[in-house]
Amino acid sequence: MKDSVETVLRKTALFASLTEIEIQGLAGRASRKNLQRGELLFAEGDSCKGLFLVASGKIRIFKLSSAGREQVLAIEGPGSSFAELPVFDGGNYPAAASASEDSELVFISRKDFQNFCREHPDVALKVIAVVGSRLRRLIGIIEELSFTTVRQRLIALLLQLAQVDGTPSKDGIRLELTKSHQDFAAELGTVRELVSRNLSRLQAEGFLEVEGRKLVVKDVAGLKRELTSPE
Amino acid sequence: MKDSVETVLRKTALFASLTEIEIQGLAGRASRKNLQRGELLFAEGDSCKGLFLVASGKIRIFKLSSAGREQVLAIEGPGSSFAELPVFDGGNYPAAASASEDSELVFISRKDFQNFCREHPDVALKVIAVVGSRLRRLIGIIEELSFTTVRQRLIALLLQLAQVDGTPSKDGIRLELTKSHQDFAAELGTVRELVSRNLSRLQAEGFLEVEGRKLVVKDVAGLKRELTSPE
DNA sequence: TTGCCGTGGTGACTTTAGTCACTGCCCCCT
DNA sequence: AGGGGGCAGTGACTAAAGTCACCACGGCAA
């Protein structure tokens, strides 16, 4: 379970193109960090020390409002990096990061990474690509917040979960929710109660079967229709 | 009014660090393009041909919903570039772009720009910085959409306009709106009617003086208070 | 002049989102 | 066994957002 730093680097998209020697050079400067579920890695506005790679677990990147509400911007799993950005523009972290599962990270300091990028232009190009996909995802979030209802966002999330984690069965796609309603609310940009209510309503309408955290998506086609139809 | 391509390149943040010779090399590959107010440069999903620099005018980057609503993501003025991103990841444009004023642009094809970046690593680092600030702005939009009301977003926009374009006078900061309510709505992620109504309400509450497109911000401090106070 | 179109204002209404308070459940800890 | 604490469900309500319809004004073009 405990990969070496070298292995983690090799598995990370950013460094996929490096040679063994380069990997080892970089590994010498990297350090490890473990986080327990729920632990905060950094808060929004903290000054940026460097970038992180995910070796195992999941890291939630989120904004926190003054009223205490959260909005998740991204969830990064193994092979991903995050906080590349402030490394370059010198600014602070624009959002907070916490572990949504027990996680192992690898850390590379800002200076080391910058130097490395200067020596390896292809890594810099890789960074642009990674940041680019992040940007697309953020635009997607904006689109959803601006154009859709909580109900639709929830449906979209469920369909995605069903596709990724779901197991087909005779009456539909079965899946187990691993997160609380609170967590879903933060991903959807709303509050716990609306998640709960919308799930109930989707069940009442026959799209779902809910039983605690076990859930059966009974009518995928119908749900997809709910996403496109104006009503 | 009509700067040479070289001058435009020199004024663009991305290329600020280049030598004269490099600028001229790049200029040889660039072409010009003019757009009239309202004209569409590209639509969301169009395949990406290259990146654009703004020589004069303003370009609006926006999303369009199936119901016909718009959400502005950015407005780029002289000295800015846009669409750098899909140049690198090879994907399509994630949003549409149109001119909100008559505008002059400079175009650099994807291939030329990529090659140029490979030869000039410092430009690649600059790209990362530019994309980084774009990312911060998008996170800001998400934060506003997720945590604030239309009223608060409008106030924030007005305060910003007052600071940038406003002229102080005895009864407050005077400014002239150059855009329609429709345009404001697209920037705020809402609809025309709410802009109109909220302006009226802010006037009724004594914060503003509205007369057509002329507007006086009478109580800056009060408006700022509206942004922070829960009520 | 006439008529149209883009723009802005507003009333009346529906729908969606969010708040508050309370209940029940389950699990874990001592 | 008892008591918290975190999580989920729901009723009742308020508030914000959005919709629809309509009118008014001002240019601009036929």
Chain B contacts of A86, Cβ < 8 Å? 132
Tokens of A109: 């300091």
Question: What residue in A sits closest to B127 (Cα-Cα)?
Answer: A128
The yes-or-no verdict on residue B1 having pLDDT over 80 is: no
Residue by residue, DSSP assigns chain B as ----HHHHHHHSGGGTT--HHHHHHHHTT-EEEEE-TT-EEE-TTPBP-EEEEEEES-EEEEEE-TTS-EEEEEEE-TT-EE-HHHHHH--B-SSEEEESS-EEEEEEEHHHHHHHHHH-HHHHHHHHHHHHHHHHHHHHHHHHHHH--HHHHHHHHHHHHHHHH-EEETTEEEEE--S-HHHHHHHHTS-HHHHHHHHHHHHHTTSEEEETTEEEE--HHHHHHHHHS--
The yes-or-no verdict on residue B8 having pLDDT over 80 is: yes
The predicted model gives A180-187 an average pLDDT of: 98
Given A88, A118, A189, which is nearest B121 (Cβ)?
Answer: A118
Q: What's residue A133's pLDDT?
A: 92
The yes-or-no verdict on residue A145 having pLDDT over 60 is: yes
Q: Which residue has the tokens 């890291």?
A: A59
Q: Does B65 touch chain A (CB under 8 A)?
A: yes
CA A84 – CA B132 distance, rounded (Å): 9
Bases of strand C lying below 7 A from some protein CB: 6-12, 16-21
Q: Residues 6 or more apart from B56 whose CB is under 8 A from it?
A: B1, B3, B78, B103, B104
| Shortest CA to C1' contact from B199: nucleotide | C9
Spatial contact of B150 and A75, defined as CB atoms under 8 Å apart: no
- A20-47: string of b/e by CB count within 10 Å (b at 16+)? eebbeebbebbeeeebeeeeebbebeee
Tell which of A131, A190, A227 to mutate to test the B interface (max B CBs under 10 Å). Answer: A131
Confidence of residue A230 (pLDDT cuts 50, 70, 90): low
Q: Residues 6 or more apart from A178 whose CB is under 8 A from it?
A: A213
Q: What's residue B152's pLDDT?
A: 98
Q: What's residue B108's pLDDT?
A: 96
The yes-or-no verdict on residue A47 having pLDDT over 50 is: yes
- Which position has the higher pLDDT, B99 or B85? B99
Spatial contact of A99 and A37, defined as CB atoms under 8 Å apart: yes
A199 touches strand D (CB under 7 A): yes
Confidence of residue B229 (pLDDT cuts 50, 70, 90): low
Alpha-carbon radius of gyration of chain A: 20
Bases of strand D lying below 7 A from some protein CB: 6-12, 16-21
Distance in Å from the first CA to the final CA of chain A = 48
Confidence of residue A231 (pLDDT cuts 50, 70, 90): very low
Confidence of residue B230 (pLDDT cuts 50, 70, 90): low
Question: Are A63 and B142 in contact (CB < 8 Å)?
Answer: yes
The predicted model gives B146-159 an average pLDDT of: 98
Chain A contacts of B66, Cβ < 8 Å? 147, 228, 230
pLDDT in tens, B30-72: 999 999 999 999 999 999 999 999 999 999 999 999 999 999 9
Given A129, A138, A145, which is nearest B146 (Cβ)?
Answer: A145
Q: Does B79 touch chain A (CB under 8 A)?
A: no
Q: Is beta strand A167-169 parallel, antiparallel or unpaired with respect to B31-35?
A: unpaired
A182 touches strand D (CB under 7 A): yes
Question: Are B67 and A230 in contact (CB < 8 Å)?
Answer: yes
Confidence of residue B86 (pLDDT cuts 50, 70, 90): confident
Q: Does A64 touch chain B (CB under 8 A)?
A: no
A83-97, A137-151, B53-67: which has the minimum mean pLDDT?
A83-97
Tokens of A170: 């005779």
Q: What are phi and psi of A189, to 5 degrees?
A: 75, 45
Q: What sign does the dihedral A116-A117-A121-A124 (CA atoms) show? A: positive
From the CA of B211 to the C1' of D25: give the distance in Å.
13
- Which position has the higher pLDDT, A230 or B164? B164
Residue A85's nearest CA partner among A75, A98, A72, A95 is A95
The yes-or-no verdict on residue A1 having pLDDT over 60 is: no
* Residue B36 exposure: Cα atoms within 13 Å on the Cβ side: 0
Average pLDDT of chain A to the nearest whole number = 94
Confidence of residue A17 (pLDDT cuts 50, 70, 90): confident
Q: What's residue A5's pLDDT?
A: 94
Q: Does A119 touch chain B (CB under 8 A)?
A: no
> Cα A33 to the chain's mean position, in Å?
19
Q: Is beta strand B167-169 parallel, antiparallel or unpaired with respect to B81-82?
A: unpaired
pTM of the complete model: 0.95
Q: Does A227 touch chain B (CB under 8 A)?
A: no
Q: What sign does the dihedral B92-B96-B100-B101 (CA atoms) show? A: positive
- Which position has the higher pLDDT, B162 or B87? B162
Given B118, B128, B139, which is nearest A94 (Cβ)?
Answer: B139
The set of residues with CB closer than 7 Å to nucleic strand C is: A 67, 69, 149-151, 189-191, 193-194; B 177, 180-182, 192-193, 196-197, 199-200, 210, 212-213
Average pLDDT of chain B to the nearest whole number = 94
The yes-or-no verdict on residue A104 having pLDDT over 70 is: yes
